[in-house]
Structure 1
Amino acid sequence: MIVAETERLTLSKFTLADAPFLLQLVNTPHWLKYIGDRNIKTIEAAKDYITNTHLKSYNTNKFGFYKLNVKENNTPIGACGLLKRDTLEHADIGFAMLPEYEGKGYGSEASLAVLKLAKETFQLKKVLAITLPTNANSIKLLEKLGLSYQKRVKPFDDDVELLLFAKTL
């Protein structure tokens, strides 16, 4: 189900049929380096992740992460969306691309569509983002999207310090 369109992309809800693509995405070098190893090594594990993360979020929060497809050829290239974590006060935006689609403006294009959904469809007043201090490309994109650095946080049990960004919608 398509939830948004941009000039070059469609954003659609993940389904169990997207497990092969998700398996590929979560095992890319940048995902592993900047987001972390989710230990998804099989199609079955990818289906479980979609069920327990994406589908659960759509049902609970009405929003979540969306699969990004290039309109021209319907190729899945990444994910972008909103996640409501128990450890953060507001929903946070995130994005990830397959390596061959990084640096081509798709992250910005998709994120702007997600921010528009956040404000107009989901009536969110504020959106956060978290990233590793070493993820220069993510920081650059968050700033381009109008999010501003707030503080350093440790939102997870792993004690890793992340940068927290925020934007009032």
Structure 2
Amino acid sequence: MNPMETDDIVLRKAKFEDWESMHKNVWSRPETAKYMQWQITKTEESAKERIKKTITYQKTHDTYLIYEKEHGQAIGFAGVEEISPHIFQDAGIALVPEYTGKGLGKQTLQLLLEYCANTLRGKEFFYSTRGNNKISKALALSCGFSYQYSEEKIDLKNKEPYILEVYSRKL
């Protein structure tokens, strides 16, 4: 799979040397993990192990690291998964707070939508977000998604309930 890119970002598969920027910018930061179902990585050794697992996982999944072009740093990750023939959903989008509100999340989601429509022949895409994640909800609406339904879930990290909102759009 070739990298996907815009003027500002590149989505591509991880390389081992990405462990450092992913650790510093994404995995070690509680604010980035706040709405996600993963635990922060506290040590450099843990980050090196995590990048190895990421590389292995990415060999069989449509998940990518997000790089900002200006400095080439990994600033997040994103992916998609097919949930039924020609129907896709996001497999999570995480972007460090310093890069939110700059249109990079929208560029990321648009690249994923184009990939699903043009390469994977997708017909519909579902996007899920926690009900209290205002930035993620705004992203969904700005990309033409329509609200479908909500359901209560349990956070795997803290066992607290939360509301998951599901949006969709045709591709």
**TM-based fold match above 0.5:** yes
Fraction of identical pairs, as percent: 28
Moved more, 150-159 or 95-104: 150-159
What aligned pairs does 1:38-57 form with structure 2 within 5 A after superposition? Answer: 38-53=39-54, 55-56=56-57
Match for residue 65 of structure 2? 67
SS in 2 for 1:161: strand
Q: Distance in 2 between matches of 1:162 and 1:50?
A: 28
Residues 134 and 123 (structure 1 numbering): CA distance in 2 closer, same or farther, change over 3 Å?
Answer: same
After TM superposition, give the deviation of residue 71 of structure 1 in Å: 2.2
Give the structure with the higher percent strand: 2
Q: Give the paired residue count.
A: 164
SS in 2 for 1:115: helix
User: Which amino acid is 1:166 matched to?
Assistant: S
Q: Distance in 2 between matches of 1:31 and 1:83?
A: 21
After TM superposition, give the deviation of residue 99 of structure 1 in Å: 2.2
Does the Cα contact within 8 Å between 2:22 and 2:74 map onto a contact in 1? no
Match for residue 161 of structure 1? 163
Match for residue 139 of structure 2? 141
Residues 126 and 72 (structure 1 numbering): CA distance in 2 closer, same or farther, change over 3 Å?
Answer: same
What aligned pairs does 1:114-133 form with structure 2 within 5 A after superposition? Answer: 114-133=112-131
Moved more, 102-111 or 44-53: 44-53
2:22 corresponds to 1:22: yes
1:100-149 deviation line (CA, Å, top 9, x unaligned): 22211111112111110111112222222221111011000011111221
TM-score normalized by the length of structure 1: 0.79
Does the Cα contact within 8 Å between 2:30 and 2:40 map onto a contact in 1? no
After TM superposition, give the deviation of residue 152 of structure 1 in Å: 1.2
Q: Distance in 1 between matches of 2:13 and 2:89?
A: 17
RMSD: 2.8
Match for residue 80 of structure 1? 78
2:103 corresponds to 1:105: yes
TM-score normalized by the length of structure 2: 0.78
Match for residue 8 of structure 2? 8
Name stretches of at least 5 consecutive residues in structure 1 with no aligned partner: none
